[in-house]
A and B are shown apart, each in its own frame.
Chain A
Amino acid sequence: MSEILISVLLVIGSFFMLVAGLGMLRMPDLFLRMSCSTKAATIGVGTLMFALALFFEDLGVATRALATICFIFLTAPVGAHRIGRIAYLVGVRLWEGTITDELKGVYAADACMPFGQECLIPDMDAQEISTDIEEGPK
């Protein structure tokens, strides 16, 4: 009975990990990809660790597994928020079907692209960036 329960939990967890991988490959945008991979991978690893805590039937192992689950649930949104904010500042393009962009115009002309693409913010072109850099060392 316990073996069947652990097997079902393992299959559910690995299925969520596969969903995360598929979303990582198929989503059209960095931000959609990031939301998909963060949520699905977090719940997948959490289910796998819960199955491990059920398998060993030991208090110390269960406590460590629960602590690791809590750690992943706390740190995955933090990392995703940080990567998303940096990606928006750096100017990664949004998907064409994006309906609302609430950060549009919030970040000023600071944001430019180090990756050889053009800026998202329209009143900022490449010439201003180059003049800024030329004035910098003087």
Chain B
Amino acid sequence: MILQATIDFIVFPLLSLTLVLGFIRLLLGPTLPDRIIAFELISITAAGIIVVSAITTNQAVLLDVASAWAIISFLSVIAFSYYIEKWRGRP
């Protein structure tokens, strides 16, 4: 009871506010690496939202989704940095 109320009234609003702040930085970041780290923050927050959803729906399978999401997020950051490094030096 306390857990459900806490998740509904504190945890999900805080995580949603984090998503909104990251999305603002994604929109107005001056350079490309700013946008990449904003994207990284958004994906990590999405993993946290999946974990909290696993608690609310009582489905332990969603933890696997969160871990796979974390792996894909890390690989996307590495791929972005790789292509920026390849792009470096050409206008």
Contact = CB atoms under 8 A, between A and B. Distances in A.
B87 A114 contact: yes
B48 A87 contact: no
Interface size range of chain B in the complex: 35 or more
A28 to B, nearest CB: 11
Contact of B66 (A3, A68, A79): A68
DSSP majority for the B interface?
helix
A18 B14 contact: yes
Contact of B45 (A7, A21, A67): A21
Given A22-B21, A83-B77, A92-B31, A68 B6 contact: no
Contacts, number: 169
Contacts of A92: 31, 33-34
A17 B18 contact: yes
Given A21-B18, A67-B67, A86-B81, A45 B51 contact: yes
Contacts of B71: 71
Given A7-B6, A68-B63, A90-B32, 13 more contacts: A10-B3, A10-B7, A17-B45, A21-B41, A24-B38, A30-B31, A48-B48, A49-B63, A61-B60, A64-B63, A76-B74, A86-B81, A133-B90
Interface of A: 3-4, 6-7, 10-11, 13-15, 17-18, 20-22, 24-25, 30, 33-34, 37, 41-42, 44-45, 48-49, 51-52, 55-56, 58, 61, 64-65, 67-68, 71-72, 75-76, 78-80, 82-83, 86-87, 89-90, 92, 110-112, 114-115, 117, 129, 133
